[in-house]
């Protein structure tokens, strides 16, 4: 007698009920579902999202919204340690936390280490915390392909604070700004170049800067860096949120500065709720989510067109040999495909 090795899928109702009851096992399975590339999973995932969205804290018209935080910083700045310190502070204050971490995938093997749970051992064991590592795959932007959807599922499960940790920081690592309410940039002091390779644009996007590892022999450097960045922020255009970005000192290993940072985030949330910035931001982010998804699906559908598949190898060969410039080749291919559809 043959047995199937494939585990049966849960029904849409089982996913929804499990998520809304706060079942972390089913929540994890639901995130795996939405990350799946299988068309059968995509259909179920769409139904699950459609059912949970109206009852999330961030649903249209809801009063008590979950807070979405994006945290980024250069490698070695201590993102995971800082997030665990912030998460531990929140859960001990009675605030539930979901942490969505993103690990870079190997461009050769597509594998990922997924080590964030091992770096946040204390937080991962707390019943009011949920930590989910995901791989970037081939997706750029410092986040995973389905991070937005994963946040919605976590909110539907009742988590009050969503924390998204990016892969790193740079020109391609800023998409998290388009899916969170508050964007926190972690910095180091005394690391040579004060900008540490960070472009001006990402500093302009930050709602707050934190000089991390401000302890021991680095305390003096950290204080000087805070003064320099505070002066630099005053030279930037006023923030659309109506809140002047602040610069904080923090030592995640010694739990210093965490409470001040959280109080600033809470004040930011209150101000942006009153001046309606948060509502407008969420609406704009929903449209960006739609357009990015639409673009992705259009590209996928186009690549599956039979005439596209038959013409592509010859076009690629001409581009490879330098016969056609890439821009002309792309236009030529699209014109040929659409003329036959």
- In sequence order, the β-bridge partners of residue 209 are 185, 247
Segment 131-160 mean pLDDT: 78
* CA end-to-end distance (rounded Å), the chain: 48
pTM of the model: 0.84
Task: Note whether 155 and 162 are within 8 A (CB).
Answer: yes
- In sequence order, the β-bridge partners of residue 39 are none
Per the listing, tokens 């539930």 go with 96
With 70 as the cut, is the pLDDT of residue 106 above it? no
Q: Where are the domains of the chain?
A: 7-55, 57-275, 291-339
d(CA 161, CA 57): 11
DSSP assignment letter at 182: E
Query: What pLDDT is attached to residue 322?
Result: 92
CATH superfamily of 57-275: P-loop containing nucleotide triphosphate hydrolases (3.40.50.300)
pLDDT tens column, 39-53:
889 899 999 999 998
Query: What pLDDT is attached to residue 104?
Result: 58
Q: Edge-to-edge strands of the sheet including 182-187? A: 129-135, 97-103, 161-165, 67-73, 182-187, 208-211, 246-249
DSSP assignment letter at 138: T
| Residue of 14, 37, 42, 297 whose CA lies nearest to 144 | 37
Half-sphere exposure of 227 (CA within 13 A, CB side): 6
d(CA 181, CA 312): 42
Burial 71-100 (b: 16+ CB within 10 A, else e): bbbbeebbbbbbbbbbbbbbbeeebbbbbb
148: its two tokens: 């937005």
Question: Which three-class secondary structure state does DSSP give residue 213?
Answer: coil
Q: Which CATH class is domain 7-55?
A: mainly alpha
Task: Note whether 77 and 186 are within 8 A (CB).
Answer: yes
d(CA 249, CA 293): 38
pLDDT tens column, 16-36:
999 999 999 999 999 999 988
pLDDT tens column, 56-81:
766 555 556 799 999 988 788 899 99
H helices of the chain, in order, are: 12-20, 24-35, 39-52, 79-92, 116-119, 121-124, 147-156, 200-205, 219-233, 258-274, 277-303, 306-320, 326-339
Segment 176-204 mean pLDDT: 74
To the nearest 10 degrees (0 to 180), the angle between helices 39-52 and 12-20 is: 40
Query: What pLDDT is attached to residue 193?
Result: 47
Neighbours of 37 (CB within 10 A): 8
Per the listing, tokens 């021991």 go with 216
d(CA 232, CA 237): 11
With 80 as the cut, is the pLDDT of residue 250 above it? yes
d(CA 43, CA 32): 14
Segment 264-281 mean pLDDT: 95
């Amino acid at each position: 007698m043959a047995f199937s090795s494939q585990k049966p899928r849960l029904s849409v109702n089982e996913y929804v009920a499990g998520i809304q009851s706060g079942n972390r096992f089913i929540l994890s399975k639901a995130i795996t579902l939405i990350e799946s590339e299988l068309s059968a999973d995509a259909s179920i995932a769409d139904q699950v999202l459609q059912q949970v969205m109206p009852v999330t804290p961030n649903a249209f018209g809801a009063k008590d919204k979950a807070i979405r935080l994006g945290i980024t910083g250069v490698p070695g700045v201590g993102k995971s340690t800082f997030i665990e310190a912030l998460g531990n502070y929140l859960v001990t204050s009675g605030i539930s936390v979901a942490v969505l971490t993103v690990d870079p995938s190997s461009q050769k093997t597509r594998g990922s280490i997924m080590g964030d749970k091992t770096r946040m051992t204390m937080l991962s064991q707390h019943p009011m915390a949920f930590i989910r590592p995901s791989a970037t795959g081939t997706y750029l932007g410092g986040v995973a392909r389905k991070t937005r959807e994963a946040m919605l599922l976590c909110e539907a499960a009742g988590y009050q604070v969503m924390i998204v940790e990016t892969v790193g920081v740079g020109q391609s690592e800023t998409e998290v700004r388009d899916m969170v309410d508050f964007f926190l940039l972690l910095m180091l002091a005394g690391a040579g170049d004060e900008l540490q390779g960070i472009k001006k644009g990402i500093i302009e996007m930050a709602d707050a800067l934190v000089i991390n590892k401000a302890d021991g022999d680095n305390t003096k450097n950290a204080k000087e860096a805070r003064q320099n960045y505070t002066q630099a922020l005053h030279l930037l255009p006023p923030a659309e949120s109506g809140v002047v970005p602040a610069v904080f000192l923090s030592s995640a290993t010694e739990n210093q500065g965490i409470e001040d940072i959280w109080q600033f985030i809470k004040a930011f949330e209150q101000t942006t709720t009153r001046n309606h910035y948060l509502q407008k931001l969420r609406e704009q982010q929903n449209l960006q989510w739609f357009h990015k998804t639409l673009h992705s699906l259009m590209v996928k559908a186009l690549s599956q067109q039979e005439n596209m598949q038959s013409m592509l190898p010859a076009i690629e060969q001409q581009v490879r040999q330098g016969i056609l410039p890439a821009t002309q080749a792309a236009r030529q291919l699209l014109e040929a495909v659409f003329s036959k559809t």
